[in-house]
């Protein structure tokens, strides 16, 4: 079926003028090209050959090239192309538009390259219906249902600004992150005009913690104590812990000055205030109050000998029970048990002036309350047919009962001084008992060939 085309109403038509064929119309009477069918084509011929067609159909317009190939438009101006849509479907908006690298390419010499907006004040750009960029009044939002990656293939930094100030930066050269600073000097660098630079809070538990290098843990929050939640703070480590400071360190607990470490490393616990300042430490450790301890460990002049000490029941520092103490008695301390025995003393020993009867010397023992006796040793000369012995005993104050604690006896005649000893395990209770040693002959006392020289008791504090 044929198709007729009407052109109306041109004001005038000039054919083959110096400027080509010209059709003039008024602005109130535009040129109209109409068709009585749904397609309205305009064909373009070069040398009687069809090279292009513009065709309208319903609400669309199509541009075809030679042999019916669908073309893609380019809108030019006197200063160059402004719009280009190439055969690959890539659109370019620019002062000199040409083939673009991406599906949409917008180039502008000004900072403002593109504008997206609508009448309600909010504008959203959807990326594959997975990520959304939304801008509204006073806010900008990135939303996505997947991971968000911001990546730079160069060493350029990521910078976030507000109110013309740098707020957050990631340095592209070293990865250092800065908040409140444009030049972070550390992996995480924070600067602010505030006493509190950071706050950490765990909203799921009653405490928060920071783990450093899988070794050091800083923990603070609340802990159950006596059925109640109490505030607490803890510092724990799997290895060595060092505090380093170029100046004095001060520790305050609940408003109380608890400890100070001076510039020279001297430590004061509970410093005492005097005048306008606290009294500085005069020793490596000063304590402004009472010391309570089960055990204190002191190093003697000889670094190889360590003597742990503890406080006894009277608060007196004593050496730990692993260290031995000694109490010695010489010949001058002994007394006769029987008043008519002929006891002699002199030249460093005591003896009985008889050779036909036995004899016993009595030696009172006084030791600190609460110590434990571990050994008794007696030094004697026994060059006789008889032997000499000692017996260490206690006597109960209330019952007058006698109990043997340790005993030992010499054997055989030797012309030089020797010792006899016995181990013991007796804790001294001066409240309940008195203590003494009997030195006796086994058989007759044979004059000065049987002599008592001294007695040594080994004991330990407990």
Q: Are residues 342 and 365 in the same domain?
A: yes
pTM: 0.42
Q: Are residues 31 and 89 in the same domain?
A: no
Q: Are residues 71 and 82 in the same domain?
A: no
DSSP string, 78-123: TTEEEEEE-TTS-EEESTT----SSSEEE--SSS-------TTS-E
User: For residue range 192-250, what is the model confidence (pLDDT) as tens digits?
Assistant: 988 888 888 888 888 888 888 888 888 888 876 666 677 777 888 877 777 777 788 88
Identify the weakest region by mean pLDDT among 74-83, 88-97, 131-140, 343-352. Answer: 74-83
Q: Are residues 171 and 235 in the same domain?
A: no
Predicted pLDDT of residue 241: 74
Q: Are residues 84 and 13 in the same domain?
A: no
Q: Are residues 368 and 439 in the same domain?
A: yes
Q: Say if 140 falls within a structural domain.
A: no
Out of 52, 75, 98, pick the residue that ends a domain: 75
Which structure tokens are listed for 77? Answer: 């101006």
Range of the domain at 212: 202-242
Identify the weakest region by mean pLDDT among 245-254, 265-274, 300-309, 343-352. Answer: 300-309
Environment class of 455 (CB within 10 Å of its CB; exposed 0-12, middle 13-18, buried 19+): buried
Q: Say if 88 falls within a structural domain.
A: yes
Residue whose entry in the numeric block shows the structure tokens 């006596």:
226
Question: Which residues neighbour 38 within 8 Å (Cβ) at sequence distance 6 or greater?
Answer: 57, 58
Q: Are residues 213 and 339 in the same domain?
A: no
Q: Say if 127 falls within a structural domain.
A: no
| Number of domains comprising the chain | 5
Q: Are residues 82 and 44 in the same domain?
A: no
DSSP string, 333-389: G-EESSTTS-EEEETTEEEES-SSS--EEEEEE---TT-EEEEEEEEEEE-SSSEEE
Q: Say if 283 falls within a structural domain.
A: no
Environment class of 34 (CB within 10 Å of its CB; exposed 0-12, middle 13-18, buried 19+): exposed
| C-alpha–C-alpha distance, residues 448 and 446, integer Å | 7
Predicted pLDDT of residue 73: 63
Q: Say if 289 falls within a structural domain.
A: no
Q: Are residues 91 and 39 in the same domain?
A: no
Q: Are residues 69 and 83 in the same domain?
A: no
Identify the weakest region by mean pLDDT among 36-40, 49-53, 261-265. Answer: 36-40
User: For residue range 266-288, what is the model confidence (pLDDT) as tens digits?
Assistant: 999 988 888 788 888 888 888 88
Q: Say if 285 falls within a structural domain.
A: no
Which structure tokens are listed for 317? Answer: 């520092």
Q: Say if 433 falls within a structural domain.
A: yes
Out of 242, 258, 273, pick the residue that ends a domain: 242
The arithmetic mean of pLDDT across residues 34-50, rounded, is 78
Q: Are residues 341 and 438 in the same domain?
A: yes
Q: How many separate helices (H) and strands (E) can be counted in the chain?
A: 0, 41
Q: Is the pLDDT of residue 308 over 80?
A: no
Q: How does residue 299 score in pLDDT terms, banded at 50, 70 and 90?
A: low
| C-alpha–C-alpha distance, residues 442 and 340, integer Å | 19
Predicted pLDDT of residue 7: 52
Q: Is the pLDDT of residue 403 over 70?
A: yes
Q: Are residues 176 and 85 in the same domain?
A: no
Q: Say if 9 falls within a structural domain.
A: yes
């Amino acid at each position: 079926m044929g198709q007729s085309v009407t052109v109306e109403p041109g004001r005038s038509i000039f054919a083959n003028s110096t400027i080509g064929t010209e059709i003039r119309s008024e602005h109130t009477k535009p040129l109209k090209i109409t068709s009585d069918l749904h397609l309205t084509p305009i064909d373009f011929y070069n040398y009687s050959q069809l090279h292009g067609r513009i065709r309208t159909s319903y609400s669309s317009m199509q541009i075809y090239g030679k042999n019916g190939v669908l073309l893609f438009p380019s809108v030019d101006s006197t200063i160059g192309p402004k719009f280009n849509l190439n055969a690959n479907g890539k659109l370019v908006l620019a002062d000199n538009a040409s083939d673009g690298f991406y599906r949409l390419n917008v180039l502008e010499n000004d900072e403002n390259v593109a504008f997206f907006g609508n009448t309600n004040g909010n504008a959203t750009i959807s990326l594959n219906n997975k990520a959304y960029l939304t801008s509204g009044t006073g806010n900008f939002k990135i939303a996505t249902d997947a991971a968000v990656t911001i990546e730079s293939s160069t060493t350029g930094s990521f910078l976030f600004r507000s109110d013309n100030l740098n707020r957050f930066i990631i340095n592209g050269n070293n990865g250092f992150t800065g908040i409140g600073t444009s030049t972070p000097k550390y992996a995480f660098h924070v600067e602010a005009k505030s006493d509190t630079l950071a706050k950490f809070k765990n909203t799921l538990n009653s405490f928060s913690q920071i783990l450093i290098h899988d070794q050091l843990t800083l923990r603070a929050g609340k802990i159950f104590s006596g059925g109640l939640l109490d505030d607490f703070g803890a510092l724990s480590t799997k290895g060595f812990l060092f505090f380093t400071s170029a100046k004095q360190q001060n520790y305050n607990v609940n408003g109380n000055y608890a400890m100070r470490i001076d510039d020279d490393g001297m430590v004061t616990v509970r410093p005492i205030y005097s005048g306008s300042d606290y009294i500085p430490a005069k020793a490596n450790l000063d304590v402004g109050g009472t010391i309570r301890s089960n055990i204190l460990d002191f190093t003697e002049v000889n670094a190889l000998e360590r003597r742990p000490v503890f406080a006894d029941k009277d608060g007196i520092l004593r050496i730990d029970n692993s260290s031995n103490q000694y109490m010695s008695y010489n010949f001058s301390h002994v007394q006769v048990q029987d008043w008519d025995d002929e006891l002699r003393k002199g030249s460093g020993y005591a003896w009985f002036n008889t050779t036909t009867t036995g004899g016993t010397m009595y030696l009172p023992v006084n030791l600190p309350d609460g110590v434990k006796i571990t050994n008794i040793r007696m030094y004697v000369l026994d060059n006789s047919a008889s032997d000499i012995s000692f017996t260490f005993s206690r006597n109960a104050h209330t019952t007058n009962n006698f109990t043997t604690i340790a005993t030992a006896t010499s054997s055989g005649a030797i012309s030089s001084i020797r010792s006899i000893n016995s181990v013991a395990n007796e804790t001294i209770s001066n409240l309940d008992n008195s203590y003494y040693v009997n030195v006796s002959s086994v058989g007759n006392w044979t004059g000065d060939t049987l002599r008592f020289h001294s007695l040594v008791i080994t004991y330990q504090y407990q």
